[in-house]
Chains A and B, each alone.
Chain A
């Protein structure tokens, strides 16, 4: 199988929010990411699909600093910052937010406290000791609570939410965090059809001002996102294009059906 040649010109390198350049990650000799290169433009919405174990979550782990790549660079914001040299909290402070595949919220704390924890603010200890949300911040949290349909339950512990609601809460946390780049891993899992639809709409709405990368298996959802799609397979990009281009790509069909 041949690697797609990614001919990113200088111009694009200077207009990219994210650029992975030849990233390789190995686990005990197994290549979870294999010389992966991918580029995201400012304000772009991008769907990532691929069979189980293709390396989609691992790619997000690399971007957010959870895993150091063995090889390759992870450039942020017009290639000005190499994320591969930073740790998780530094990367988050640069404005990269993440929703995990398995929703992870702070179960013991209330839903609104979860949002306040994510709220964009100084992350230092002294700032935290004297932090008092401003009016605008309170309004923002309220708006988001409204938007994720959890306003009525804002004082309940987050642990009492259903799987789908936790997904929403995590998306809400991304919203208040005011991230510039959102990495969203399988947001539709555990959601009803109408919720899935709303999620797609929400992500579309966010993109434009923010850049969004969405991993999803649900092809209906990907179609609804109506954006560029990258197909990951065995740790590298197999194909890239619009939803219909990708769906009619012979190798992609082979990979999905050959399993």
Chain B
């Protein structure tokens, strides 16, 4: 009964309807156009494009998770990429263990880079990653745990605003430096790569690519519905209250630190999931994913798409990355300027991002109507 009414209100929102509809269309059309339509047809989608789109969907999920904390809870995390990278590493570790004897050195257990370092045994923190289920759990638990510990200290000590942003940035930077170290046991600056298969299926196969694409789209849809549900509950209302007037919420008896912490952990887990789906599709994870610049890019995606709408964040991730793919191919030296330019334009002219179009139009319209010929404002609805 209650869930029923939740889905009704969800689908009553035109933005959400569009978003889920588009995802549904992608999930059905892309695999068909890739797998069933002949390669000579103009409608055929090559496999590399399927993976590229799959990658965008992972970024969209990552952006959505940032929007949950930034748009709805006012936490501007400039280190959100860390959770994505940790999820990616966790699943990358599983894929490394799946390689087994097929590595260059043919060691049955140790990944190549460990053999190269003359390590004799698998470090304890690599135990268990041969199991798919265990790895998936880690994909969620490791980012979640980091968010829990980090957030617990930050929110308890009431660190907010710029200070919070700076320490999140420091967090991802520190992790990047750590993961660059060979001795840490995550492949140093080469990271984890040369994956062979996942769940016994060849990772490069077209069908695997399609499968990963479909799972990415479903994960995005699932993440969207989960966040929407969270925001719809009383918890979601409190979260907004904390965003807009945290101190006031405390005087109503809410432990605001816990409310923020919960959202932060959920967002970190979603980011970790996005990272885990990203790694098999791009075939590599390295410490560069922890780069502070990556985290800043995520913020730009969300701002460009429209903060505080969820689907806007996802759309922003896709649009900016389409532009990135095109620019880094056509004129790579310009890309960072374009990215910066986009951010400035959005901040100054489109504070509600791309999905705010309707709002800008209404505003423009109202502006023109300021000196109406007739005192009736009913035209504005047409």
List A residues at the B interface (Cβ < 8 Å): 64, 66, 87-89, 92-93, 97-98, 100, 104-109, 113, 116-118, 123, 125, 128-132, 173, 177
Contacts and interface: CB of A to CB of B under 8 A. Distances in A.
Nearest to A127: B234
Nearest to B2: A132
Tell me whether chain B's interface is mostly helix, strand or loop, or mixed.
helix
B256 A116 contact: no
20 contacts: A64-B251, A88-B247, A88-B250, A88-B251, A89-B250, A89-B251, A89-B256, A92-B253, A100-B248, A104-B245, A104-B248, A106-B245, A106-B248, A108-B240, A116-B234, A125-B258, A128-B235, A129-B230, A131-B233, A177-B253
Contacts of A104: 245, 248
Best-buried of B234, B251, B259 by chain A (most CB within 10 Å): B251
Contacts of B258: 125
Contacts of A113: 237
A109 B238 CA distance: 10
Given A104-B245, A106-B240, A106-B245, A125 B235 contact: yes
B127 to A, nearest CB: 33
A89 B253 contact: yes
Given A116-B234, A125-B258, A109 B252 contact: no
Nearest to A104: B248
A128 B252 contact: no
A118 B233 contact: no
Contacts of B235: 125, 128-129, 131
Interface in B112-142: none
Nearest to A107: B244
A117 B241 contact: yes
A177 B240 CA distance: 19
A109 B241 contact: yes
A118 B252 contact: yes
Interface in B256-277: 256, 258-259, 262
Nearest to B262: A125
Given A104-B245, A106-B244, A117-B241, A98 B234 contact: no
Interface of B: 2, 230, 233-235, 237-238, 240-241, 244-245, 247-256, 258-259, 262
A108 B238 CA distance: 12
Given A108-B244, A116-B234, A123-B254, 13 more contacts: A64-B251, A88-B247, A89-B254, A89-B256, A93-B253, A98-B251, A109-B237, A113-B237, A117-B237, A125-B262, A128-B235, A130-B233, A173-B252
Contacts of B238: 117, 128
A66 B248 CA distance: 10
A97 B244 CA distance: 19
Contacts of A97: 251
Contacts of A105: 248
10 interchain residue pairs of minimum CB distance: A92-B253, A131-B234, A88-B250, A128-B235, A93-B253, A128-B234, A123-B253, A104-B248, A129-B235, A106-B241
A87 B254 CA distance: 11
Contacts of A117: 237-238, 241, 249, 252
A167 B103 CA distance: 71
A118 B259 CA distance: 16
A94 to B, nearest CB: 9
Nearest to A99: B251
A177 B244 contact: no
Contacts of A128: 233-235, 238, 259
A198 to B, nearest CB: 24
B264 to A, nearest CB: 12
A129 B234 contact: yes
Contacts of B237: 109, 113, 116-117
A116 B241 CA distance: 11
Contact of A177 (B2, B247, B252): B252
B250 A123 contact: no
A108 B255 CA distance: 20
A107 B238 CA distance: 13
A118 B238 CA distance: 10
Nearest to B235: A128
A93 B253 CA distance: 5
Nearest to B234: A131
A100 B249 CA distance: 12
Best-buried of A104, A128, A177 by chain B (most CB within 10 Å): A128
B234 to A, nearest CB: 4
Nearest to A93: B253
A57 to B, nearest CB: 13
Contacts of B255: 89, 123
A128 B229 CA distance: 12
A85 B230 CA distance: 33
A105 B249 CA distance: 10
A107 B248 CA distance: 12
Nearest to A92: B253
Contacts of A93: 253
